[in-house]
Amino acid sequence: MLHLLIPQRQLTVIIDGTGKPVSYVMTGEAWNQVRSLFGVMLELAPAERDAALERLSQEDPGAAAEVRRLISNFEEARSFLEQPVTPDWQQALSASPAQVLVVGETVAGRYVIRRLLGAGGMGEVYEAWDREMRMPVALKVLPPQLAGRPGMVDRFLKEVYLAREIAHPGVCKTYDLGRGAEAGTPLFFLTMELIEGQTLAQRLVRGPIPLADGEALLIEIAEAIAAAHRLHVIHRDLKPGNVMLRRDPPAGGLRVAIMDFGLAKGNSPGSLEISSAAPQQVGTPQYMAPEQLANDPVTKATDVYAFGLIAYEVLTGRRPLDQEPPLAALIKRTKSAPPEARSVVGAIPARWNSVISRCLEPDPRARFADAAELTEALSSGRKVRRRVLFPRAITRRQIAMTFGVTAVAAAAWKWTELRRDARVADGTRVLLTSAVNATGEPELDGLAVAFAAEIQQSSHLAFSQPEDHADELRLILKRPGDRLDARSARHLALRAQIPLVLFATLGRVGSDYVFDVTLERVDPATEQAAAAWPNSFRAAGQRQLHTAMFDAARWLRRATGESESSIADLDKRPEEVTTDSWEALREFSKAQAQAETDLPGAIVTLDAAARRDPLFAMAHMRRGDYLVRLNRFAEGYDAWHSAMEALDQRPISRREELMIRAMYADDMQDCARAARYYKELMRVYPHLDYPWRYVSSPLMKLGRIEESITVMQQLIARTGGTRWNHWRKLLDYNAIAGHTEEARAAWEEMQRRHPPPGETELAAFMLHAASGSDREAEDSIRAALAKLADAGRSKYTTTYAHWLADKERLTEAARLLGDSLLSDARAGRVAERSRKLVSLAAIEARASGPKSVKAACLEAIELDHGPQRVRRAAVVLARNGYMEEASRVATFLDAAAGEPLGSVGRAVVEAEIRLAHGEPAGALHLLQPVADLRSHTESRLEYARALAGMDNATEAIRQLEDSLRYRHAEWAAADLAVPLDYRDIRFLLNNLRNKR
C-alpha cells in the first residue's frame, strides 16, 4: 500500500500494488464540502442521485467515494434507527434465540444463575449469586457461537480491561473475567456490579424530569464520563439506555451509573486497541455524533456530543429535531447544531443552554475537548463561549513557557488545597485503615491494634474500620481482614459514603522510629486525595512508640476540631487502653486475622497474648467471645470473668471498658445492665454505630419493643440505610410488635439492599407468620430453605419444624427434623444436631409418648452443653417425668451462676420439677425472685401454670398474654423456645378466661 498526500485537494489517497486507488481520507475543508454534497444528494430522487454521483466521480473521485459511503451508511441506518448499529457478526446472536444459561445453573463452580436480565449485541446478561464473595452480580456471557469469531474474545477482554480502569461511583463496576464451558463449548463471561433501578430512557418515557433533578443527574453523568476520559477511555455509545438511575437513600434522590463499555475504546498512546480488518460503525444512530455517522475517527468530543443530546432530552423532554423524520433529523445534525434548548423550554438556565449548544456543534473541534472541560464549564458558572476555529502558529518556546508557568501554578494550588484547614463537623465519618509496620521488626506487628484503640477515644470523629463494612468489601472483591492498599481504602470509603480516610505507617530513619499519619479527604471523581493533612512523630526506641502514637492521636483530634475538654476527658495512653507488652499486642493482632478462618487457632493465640499480660482485658474478652461462639461455655465464662477482673485491676479507656461490660452483660442475659452500658456508650461516644445496633435486642427483651424500633430507625438514618441486616432487624421488631404495614415496608427496603440468597424469603416468612398468613408463611420458609447454604438451611429447618408443630402438624415436623439430623451428622454440625434432638424429643413426646425423650435429650447435652441448650433439654425431661435426669443436666448451668443466664435457667428447671411433683407453691417460690430478670421474648408457661395452681388466675392470664405478645420472636430464634409452648399457652389462656 502507498499513502499519497495531495495537499492542494486536502486528500489522502491509499493506492494498492496495481496503482488503483482503494480508499480516500478527507482532511480540512474537503470534509466540509463532502458533508454539503452529502446533504444535497439525499434530497434527490434515487435516479437523479445516481446520475449526480456519476458526474461527481468523474470530477472528484475522492469526494464521490466519501459521499457514496455516507449515503450507504444512512440507508443502512434507516431500518434500525432505534437500535445500536452493529457489525455483521452480531447477526449470529439474533439468529439463536435460545438462552445460553439456565436459571439454577452454576457457572465456573462459583456463580449461581438467578434470572435473565436481558440480551444485547455482545451477549446475554444474567443476575447471578457469587458464592465466593456472597453477593449478587450481573454476569455477561459471550455466546458460544460468537466466541470463535475473529476478535470477539479480544473485544470481550477489552470491555473488562477498560471498564475496570474506571473507578468512579457513577460508573458501573466491572469485577472480573471468567471462563467456563457450556455443553463442551468454551464460555467467556464477565461479572459486573448489579444495579437495581431503571434506565434514564425508561424514566424519560414517563414524562419530563423536574429541572433541578435533571441538572443534578446530568452533572453526575458528566463527572462519570470525565473519569473515563481521564483514563483515555471513550464510551462511544452514550445514551439514556446506558445510564442507570439508582436510589440514594441518604439524599433521598437518584444517582447515576454509566453502563456498557462494550463499545468503548482507549485513545492514549499506551491504551489497549483491538485490531480489525476494517473500521466498523458502532453506536446508536440517534445519539451518534456526526463523525460517528460518517465512520470517521472518534475522540472524547464524540462522547461530549452524546452528552449534549442527552442533556437536551432531559431538560426539554424532547429529542432535538423530534418533529422531523428520523433520517432527516440525523442529516440536519450533521450540517449544523439543532435549535437551542431554550427555544423548547424557556426556563432552562442560560448556562445550560450555552453548554448544550456547544456540545452539539457538528465539528468536534468546536465542542468541549472532553468531559472534564465540560464539567468545568458547568461548575464554574462562567458564560460558555463558542469556540472559534482558526489556525495559529505557536512556537516551541511559547509552549514550553506556558507549560512551565501552568505547572508551577498548578503545583502551588495543589499544595494550598492539600494543606487547608483540617477542622471538620462533629460526627464526620473516618475510615481507619490498619496502621502499617514498615520497620521489618515483627514484634511491632501489634501497632495497628494499639493505635486504633488510641485514636478511637475521640468523641468528635466517627471512626469505623474496614471490617465494619463487609457488604462494601464484597463489592470491591475484598474480605474482612484483608490489608487494603491506599487505592482500595479510598474506594471502600466512597462505597461506604465515608469522606475521610486515615493512614498510618511506622518506619525507621537511622536509629529512630518515625510514625507517619495522614488524614485524607477523598475526591469522589478521581478517588484520590482532594485534601490531605500529614504529620510525623519520632521515637527514640520501642519504649517511646506509645508516646509517639499518643501524640499523633492528640494532634489529629485537635486538628479536626475536637474540644480540649473532650480530649482531656477521654485521653488514655495506648499502653493503658491495651497493654504495654508489644509481644501481647502482636499475638492479639495475629488472633484477629486468624478468627476469619480459624476460630480455634485464634483462641490459642489469644491465650498466648493473655499469658504475656494477664491484665490485658481485651484479650480475655475476645477469647471469651470466641469460646462461647464455639459452644465451649465453661471456658468462655472463665475468660469473661478474667476480663472483668482485669478491668477492676487496671482501668482502660472508657470506650473499651463500656464495650466489654456491655457485651458481657448481654451474653449473661442481664438485659437491663447491657442496655445501660450500651446507652452510656451512645452518650459518651455519640458517633459510634455499633451500640445502636446492639442495644435494640436487650431493649426488646426488657419489653421495650417500641424503643427497639425507634433505635433501629435511628441507626438506619445514621448509616444511610445501606445495610440489609438493619432493615431485617427493623422488620422483625415491627412484626413482633404487630405493626404489619411497617414490617412490610422494611421488607421492601431490605430487598433493595441485595441480601444473600434466602434472606429475603426468611424475612417474608417472619412477616407472614406474624400476620397469620399461614400459606404465604409456609411458601416463604420453603423457598428460603431451597436457597440457603447448607448451614443456614439446617438452622432454619428447626424454625420450620417449630412452626409446623405449632400448627399441630406433628408428624411432618418430626419427619423434617429426623431427615435434617442425618444431614447434620454427615456434615459434622454438632450444635445443630443438639438443637434438633431436643426439639424432636418434645414433638415426639406429644405425638406418641415420652419413650425417646431421655435418650434424645441426654445425647443433645453430650453434644452441646451450652446454657440455652441445657435449659431446654432439662425442661423437656422434667415435663416428661425424668426429674432426676433434669436435675442432673441442670448442673451445667452453674457455669453461669450469679448471672441471669444461670440463675433464671436454674430456677425454671427446678420449677418444672416441682410442678411435675404437683407443688405449684414451691415452683412459684423459685420463679418469683427471678421474674424481673427474665426476657419478655421467652415463654413463661411454667410461671403461669404455677400461678394458676395457686388460684391466681388474674396474674396467670397477664403472664400468658405477655408471652403471646412477644411470641413471634420464636421465628427469629427457635433455639430459645420449646416446641409447642405457645400452643399450650393459648390453650391454658382460653381455659382460664372461660373459668372467669
Which residues make beta-bridge pairs with 429?
A: 462
Residue range 833-872, pLDDT digits in tens: 999 999 999 999 999 999 999 999 999 999 988 888 899 9
Round to the nearest angstrom and report the end-to-end CA distance of the chain. 107
Residue range 699-726, pLDDT digits in tens: 999 999 999 999 999 999 888 788 899 9
Q: Is 488 strand, coil or helix?
A: helix
φ/ψ (deg, to 5) at 318: -135, 155
Please tell me the distance from the alpha carbon of residue 1 to that of residue 738, in angstroms, as a whole number: 81
Residue range 647-684, pLDDT digits in tens: 888 878 888 889 989 999 998 899 999 999 999 999 98
Q: Give 178 or 945, the one with higher predicted confidence.
A: 945
Residue range 547-597, pLDDT digits in tens: 999 999 999 999 999 988 888 777 778 777 788 888 998 999 899 888 878
794 pLDDT more than 50: yes
Strands 2-6 and 135-142: unpaired
Q: CA geometry: angle at 156 spanning 154 and 160, to 5°?
A: 110
Q: How confident is the model at residue 484 (pLDDT cuts 50, 70, 90)?
A: confident
| Residues ≥6 apart with Cβ < 8 Å to 858 | 873, 885, 889
Q: Where are the domains of the chain?
A: 2-80, 88-193, 198-270+281-380, 421-572
Which residues make beta-bridge pairs with 119?
A: 124
Please tell me the distance from the alpha carbon of residue 450 to that of residue 98, in angstroms, as a whole number: 59
Question: In terms of Cα–Cα distance, which of 878, 912, 908 is closest to 893?
Answer: 908
Q: Give 296 or 694, the one with higher predicted confidence.
A: 694
- In this prediction, residue 628 carries a pLDDT of 81
- In this prediction, residue 711 carries a pLDDT of 96
- In this prediction, residue 355 carries a pLDDT of 95
Q: Do 839 and 796 touch, CB atoms closer than 8 A?
A: no
Residue range 76-118, pLDDT digits in tens: 444 333 333 333 333 343 444 457 788 889 888 889 999 988 7
- In this prediction, residue 90 carries a pLDDT of 38
Residue range 897-933, pLDDT digits in tens: 788 999 999 999 999 999 999 999 999 999 999 999 9
Per-residue cell: 472: 462494601
Q: Is 15 strand, coil or helix?
A: strand
Please tell me the distance from the alpha carbon of residue 363 to that of residue 28, in angstroms, as a whole number: 11
Strands 500-509 and 436-437: parallel
477 pLDDT more than 90: no
Query: What share of the chain in percent tops pLDDT 90?
Result: 39
Binding-site entries for ATP: 140
C-alpha separations of 869 from 413, 668, 766, 905, 974 in Å = 66, 14, 23, 10, 11
382 pLDDT more than 50: no
- In this prediction, residue 402 carries a pLDDT of 32
- For residue 16, count other CB atoms closer than 10 A to its CB: 11
Helix, strand, coil % in the chain, rounded to nearest 5:
60, 10, 30
Residue range 622-650, pLDDT digits in tens: 999 888 877 677 788 889 889 999 988 88
Q: Which CATH class is domain 88-193?
A: alpha beta
Which residues make beta-bridge pairs with 112?
A: 106, 129
CATH match of 421-572 with 3.40.50.150: no
- In this prediction, residue 746 carries a pLDDT of 95
Cα 805 to its chain centre, rounded Å, is 38
Q: How confident is the model at residue 731 (pLDDT cuts 50, 70, 90)?
A: very high
Q: Give 597 or 414, the one with higher predicted confidence.
A: 597
Question: In terms of Cα–Cα distance, which of 153, 169, 305 is closest to 237?
Answer: 305
**Residue 340: exposed, middle, or buried by beta-carbon count in 10 A (0-12, 13-18, 19+)?**
middle
- In this prediction, residue 572 carries a pLDDT of 76
Please tell me the distance from the alpha carbon of residue 142 to that of residue 836, in angstroms, as a whole number: 46
- For residue 856, count other CB atoms closer than 10 A to its CB: 22
156 pLDDT more than 70: no
Please tell me the distance from the alpha carbon of residue 190 to that of residue 202, in angstroms, as a whole number: 25
- In this prediction, residue 955 carries a pLDDT of 95
Please tell me the distance from the alpha carbon of residue 428 to that of residue 326, in angstroms, as a whole number: 52
Binding-site entries: 140
Question: In terms of Cα–Cα distance, which of 632, 581, 722 is closest to 640?
Answer: 632
161 pLDDT more than 70: no
Q: How confident is the model at residue 237 (pLDDT cuts 50, 70, 90)?
A: confident
Assigned CATH for 198-270+281-380: 1.10.510.10
Residue range 874-901, pLDDT digits in tens: 999 999 999 999 999 999 888 777 889 9
- In this prediction, residue 11 carries a pLDDT of 42
Per-residue cell: 852: 425417646
- In this prediction, residue 408 carries a pLDDT of 31
Per-residue cell: 943: 410461671
Q: How confident is the model at residue 253 (pLDDT cuts 50, 70, 90)?
A: low
Q: Give 233 or 368, the one with higher predicted confidence.
A: 368
Please tell me the distance from the alpha carbon of residue 25 to that of residue 31, in angstroms, as a whole number: 9
Q: CA geometry: angle at 24 spanning 22 and 30, to 5°?
A: 160
415 pLDDT more than 80: no
Q: Do 476 and 464 touch, CB atoms closer than 8 A?
A: no
Which residues make beta-bridge pairs with 436?
A: 505
- In this prediction, residue 404 carries a pLDDT of 34
| Residues ≥6 apart with Cβ < 8 Å to 512 | 538, 539, 540
Question: What's the mean pLDDT in 184-199?
Answer: 81
- In this prediction, residue 706 carries a pLDDT of 96
- In this prediction, residue 162 carries a pLDDT of 63
CA max distance for the chain? 118
Per-residue cell: 339: 435549535
| Residues ≥6 apart with Cβ < 8 Å to 615 | 579, 646, 649, 650
Residue range 932-991, pLDDT digits in tens: 999 999 899 999 999 999 999 999 999 999 989 888 887 766 556 799 999 999 999 999
The helix (H) or strand (E) run that includes residue 302 is helix 300-316
Per-residue cell: 755: 441480601
- In this prediction, residue 183 carries a pLDDT of 52
The chain-wide mean pLDDT, for the chain, equals 81
Which residues make beta-bridge pairs with 503?
A: 518
In terms of DSSP H, where are the helices of 419-562?
A: 447-455, 470-475, 486-495, 545-559
- In this prediction, residue 32 carries a pLDDT of 52
